[in-house]
């Protein structure tokens, strides 16, 4: 590829272990030094010839290009793991345009580069990365934020980029931002009295006047995301590759009011996953997995997931959906990890 660093108006970034040269400004990403030779180019292009066809289907494979359209926002094309083309619709909101560049486009690009994107959040514990996955609403981002409040650094939120190696799967850091819902932000305020939580440097306010969790800048509401805010995590972001040591699947369980009143429901219980169960969890929580068959990556996808499942520990965490259990889960996760480390150390 050509060095675009000298192009007027282009900016250089790093994310997901990749050097990125972009015609679009991407303030969410970490800037890198100019003069680099990029791995990925993000540029504007005229893709309007594909509008009619893309209106009839979710996405199109055109040779090596994966193409999709978000009505009122943009047409996107991702090619060979090297290039993202964006055709921005007139009047489109640029935050929404970037949301799909850093989300769906990046997930597809990672798969084209044979890097597995897992849908979840990743935290650094004891020099290793641990992934937290689960269906929407199970609390994985809230849990990751609770770990940050407890002094642990985050590697990724939403898209976890993992590459398999002979020794261990490696997680590549994404970028220093987390997406959190208003309910989570307000609930996290209640953790401030917890012994595991650091004292905040200052208290902030959301840009629409709602109270916010302690951070270091105003929180911006994400366009196109229902009641979600962009939380900067520069001070809590770990920007180096790490081995993936474990995967925790969060499952929210509803319990009867009678049992809750009797106090018989623990905040969280865990189940250890065997290799097949861990494989199923990885397959279930792969980012944008519905695109894989059309991209012809089914064999690679299954093989990579199976290799990963054999090399990491897996747990399922069943949490009481009627209560805010983030602090209890943080403590339980740390206990499980330390117990696992102790058992390995005894052999």
Give the Cα separation of 125 and 319 in Å (integer).
Answer: 21
With 50 as the cut, is the pLDDT of residue 257 above it? Answer: no
Q: Which of 82-86, 145-149, 255-259 has the highest mean pLDDT?
A: 82-86
Total-model pTM: 0.84
Span 63-79, pLDDT tens digits: 889 999 999 999 999 99
Structure-token pair, residue 337? 């990890």
Residue 65 CB coordination number (10 Å): 17
pLDDT band, residue 339 (cuts 50/70/90): confident
With 70 as the cut, is the pLDDT of residue 255 above it? Answer: no
Asked if 204 and 229 count as a contact pair (C-beta separation under 8 A), the reply is no
Sheet harboring 65-70: ordered strands across?
30-31, 11-15, 18-22, 40-44, 83-88, 74-79, 65-70, 59-62
Residue that wins the pLDDT comparison between 317 and 3: 317
Secondary structure class of 271 (helix, strand, coil): strand
Which class for 310: exposed (0-12), middle (13-18), buried (19 or more C-beta within 10 A)?
Answer: exposed
Give the Cα separation of 220 and 196 in Å (integer).
Answer: 27
Residue 121: per-residue pLDDT: 94
- Would residue 293 be called left, alpha or beta, if left means φ above 0 and alpha means ψ between -120 and 50 degrees? alpha
Give the Cα separation of 284 and 291 in Å (integer).
Answer: 13
Residue 262 CB coordination number (10 Å): 9
Give the Cα separation of 151 and 126 in Å (integer).
Answer: 12
pLDDT band, residue 346 (cuts 50/70/90): very low
Residue with tokens 């002094």: 151
């Amino acid at each position: 590829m050509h060095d675009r660093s000298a192009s007027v108006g282009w900016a250089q970034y790093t994310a997901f272990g990749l050097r990125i040269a972009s015609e679009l400004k991407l303030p969410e990403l970490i800037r890198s030094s100019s003069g680099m030779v990029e791995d990925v180019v993000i540029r504007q292009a005229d893709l309007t010839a594909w509008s009619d066809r893309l209106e009839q289907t979710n996405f199109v494979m055109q040779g090596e290009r994966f193409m999709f359209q978000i009505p009122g926002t943009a047409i996107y094309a991702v090619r060979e793991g090297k290039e993202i083309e964006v055709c921005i619709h007139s009047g489109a909101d640029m935050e929404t345009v970037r949301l799909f560049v850093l989300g769906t486009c990046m997930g597809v690009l990672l798969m084209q580069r044979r890097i597995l994107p897992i849908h979840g959040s990743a935290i650094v514990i004891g020099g290793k990365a641990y992934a937290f996955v689960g269906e929407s609403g199970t609390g994985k981002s809230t849990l990751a934020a609770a770990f940050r409040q407890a002094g642990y650094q985050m590697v990724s939120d939403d898209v976890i980029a993992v590459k398999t190696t002979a020794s261990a799967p490696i997680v590549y850091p994404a970028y220093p931002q987390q997406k959190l819902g208003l309910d989570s932000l307000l609930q996290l305020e209640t953790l401030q009295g917890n012994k595991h939580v650091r004292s905040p440097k200052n208290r902030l306010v959301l840009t629409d006047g709602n109270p916010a969790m302690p951070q270091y800048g105003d929180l911006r509401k994400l366009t196109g995301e229902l009641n979600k805010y962009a939380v900067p995590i520069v001070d809590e972001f770990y920007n180096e590759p790490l081995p993936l040591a474990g995967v925790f699947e969060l499952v929210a369980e509803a319990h009867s009011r009678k049992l809750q009143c009797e106090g018989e429901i623990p905040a969280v219980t865990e189940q250890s996953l065997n290799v097949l169960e861990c494989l199923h969890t990885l397959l279930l929580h792969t980012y944008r997995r519905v695109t894989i068959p059309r991209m012809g990556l089914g064999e690679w996808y299954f093989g990579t997931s199976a290799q990963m499942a054999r090399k990491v520990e897996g747990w399922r965490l069943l949490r009481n959906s009627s209560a805010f259990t983030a602090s209890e889960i943080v403590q339980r996760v740390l206990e499980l990890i330390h117990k696992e480390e102790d058992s390995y150390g005894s052999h």
